[in-house]
Amino acid sequence: MRNVAIVGIGQTPVGELWEKSIRHLGHDAVVAAMHDAGIETADALYVGNMLSGELAGQEHLATLIADFVGLRGIEAAKVEAACASGAAALRVGVMAVASGQADVVIVAGVEKMTDTPIDETTAGLALAADQEYEVAEGATFVALNAMLMQRYMHEYGVSHRDFAPFPINAHANARNNPFAMFRSPITLDKYEKATVIAPPINILDSSPVCDGAAAVVLVPLERAREFGRHKRIVRVAASVTATDTIAIHDRRDPLFLEAAYLSSQRAYAQAGLGPEDIDLFELHDAFSIMSVLSLEACGFAPRGRGIELGQSGAITLGGKIPITTMGGLKARGHPVGATGIYQVVEAVQQLRGEAGANQLPHAHVAMTQNIGGSGATIITHILVGEE
């Protein structure tokens, strides 16, 4: 197997992008990544997307985007794994380059969610849950996460207000990210007074419905110097997918994200690293509770104490384990199938030293984690910056 490097990144702004169709979003991100890598062609394009058929009425998405960026003729395929579609596509791209099947691979994540009325988008997102035994009973995605948060508060005796540092940190970091959807800071007071959607979850616990696209270019590590003009090369040190039951009620312990545990443990083993080596963690903060459960399952805190990493400031840019350094799903935005690639693009910015005002002084090892459903597909990547 060959080592794989990321030599190009591109992203579109995240938001309600009514002037852009799904093909144009994909086009903009792919062209930006190709420009960043200094390439004019590629062997393959893999596109992570969850809802193009449901919300944009367009399947066969990767071939469409390949055509619209002038790459007609290359291999192209869409990869779907609910909200983890972006990282799932990256995993396919990594396997293609590592195995020697392809040398230059573009991986994009694309999602268009704001053309449709909100109840259609909500119903689309619920397709990631168990249709016969969760959705048929009236479950929504917010409701499933709300039940996890409620149980967490009950089991560990914490209050809703204890979760505030997570969205506050995300919004603070998005302020300096020109691609982020919400660039305004929020306060504890604003968090406590926010509209409740499904108690205890309120609007500021939740990532927004939005549009966006991001892309990366992968090549074999030994050829990385031929591409782009970046001082630091970013190596993919680990790429791991793990799964759990789709329905929360089928899990032995709903408050333990077993797929996050499995994928992070296998990723640590692949990279020869541990949680103590991770300089930043782009985690999947679709809801505040997910950040806490992810930090616990990945070994950054014992069970029931992940929430303390918020209160102590450990998750901030100056803390021990900075998360959502460019705004995360909460404030950069969560265009579902694109999110996994946004996370990687932002991690590469940090590792290259291109994160602007949010640049961490010692960013050598970054971890990204993309979650599909309420914890059913969890994909972890570890990226290492090399001189």
Q: Where in the sequence numbering do the catalytic residues fall?
A: 83, 334
d(CA 31, CA 254): 41
Beta bridge partners of 202: 196
Scanning 117-125, 178-186, 263-271, 281-289 for contacts with other proteins by CB under 8 A, the matching segment is: 117-125
Smallest distance, other proteins to C-beta of residue 157, A: 12
Inter-CA distances, 35 with 30, 100, 236, 330, Å: 9, 23, 20, 28
Say if CB 121 and CB 55 are below 8 A apart: yes
Query: Reduced to 3 states, what is the DSSP secondary structure of residue 278?
Result: coil
Scanning 57-65, 79-87, 115-123, 324-332 for contacts with other proteins by CB under 8 A, the matching segment is: 115-123
Among 3, 41, 99, 136, binds other proteins (CB under 8 A): 136
- Looking at the Cβ atoms of 40 and 132, the one nearer to other proteins is 132
Site string for other proteins, 169-188 (x = CB under 8 A): --------------------
d(CA 12, CA 32): 9
Tokens in use for 104?
């230059």
Among 21, 58, 150, 176, binds other proteins (CB under 8 A): 150
Say if CB 79 and CB 141 are below 8 A apart: no
Among 31, 43, 95, 122, binds other proteins (CB under 8 A): 122
- Looking at the Cβ atoms of 5 and 248, the one nearer to other proteins is 248
Q: Which residue has the tokens 């969560």?
A: 334
User: Does 60 engage in binding with other proteins (CB under 8 A)?
Assistant: no
Count of residues near other proteins by CB under 8 A: 36
Smallest distance, other proteins to C-beta of residue 55, A: 14
Say if CB 47 and CB 62 are below 8 A apart: yes
Scanning 147-155, 263-271, 286-294, 358-366 for contacts with other proteins by CB under 8 A, the matching segment is: 147-155
Contact residues for 269 (Cβ-Cβ < 8 A; gap 6+): none
Closest CA to 78 of 110, 49, 106: 49
- Looking at the Cβ atoms of 135 and 267, the one nearer to other proteins is 135
Scanning 128-136, 220-228, 331-339, 345-353 for contacts with other proteins by CB under 8 A, the matching segment is: 128-136
- Looking at the Cβ atoms of 246 and 323, the one nearer to other proteins is 246
Q: Which helix (H) or strand (E) holds 81?
A: none
Q: What is the dihedral of CA 266, 309, 128, 342, to 10 degrees?
A: -80
- Looking at the Cβ atoms of 71 and 139, the one nearer to other proteins is 139
Smallest distance, other proteins to C-beta of residue 171, A: 23
Smallest distance, other proteins to C-beta of residue 385, A: 41
Among 72, 196, 222, 356, binds other proteins (CB under 8 A): 196
Smallest distance, other proteins to C-beta of residue 160, A: 12
**Strand 196-198, strand 105-111: pairing:** unpaired
What type of residue is 128? Answer: A
Among 50, 142, 215, 221, binds other proteins (CB under 8 A): 142
Say if CB 114 and CB 16 are below 8 A apart: yes
- Looking at the Cβ atoms of 11 and 145, the one nearer to other proteins is 145
Inter-CA distances, 285 with 31, 83, 288, 353, 356, Å: 28, 12, 6, 24, 22
Tokens in use for 195?
């509209």
Among 71, 106, 135, 317, binds other proteins (CB under 8 A): 135
- Looking at the Cβ atoms of 254 and 327, the one nearer to other proteins is 254
Say if CB 226 and CB 76 are below 8 A apart: no
Binding to other proteins (CB under 8 A) within 236-255 occurs at 245, 247-250, 254
- Looking at the Cβ atoms of 235 and 251, the one nearer to other proteins is 251
Say if CB 25 and CB 17 are below 8 A apart: yes
Among 84, 102, 126, 262, binds other proteins (CB under 8 A): 126
d(CA 381, CA 265): 11
* Peptide linkage before 178 cis (omega within 30 of 0): no
- The binding site for other proteins (CB under 8 A) comprises 118-120, 122-123, 126, 132-140, 142-144, 146-148, 150-151, 154, 196-201, 245, 247-250, 254
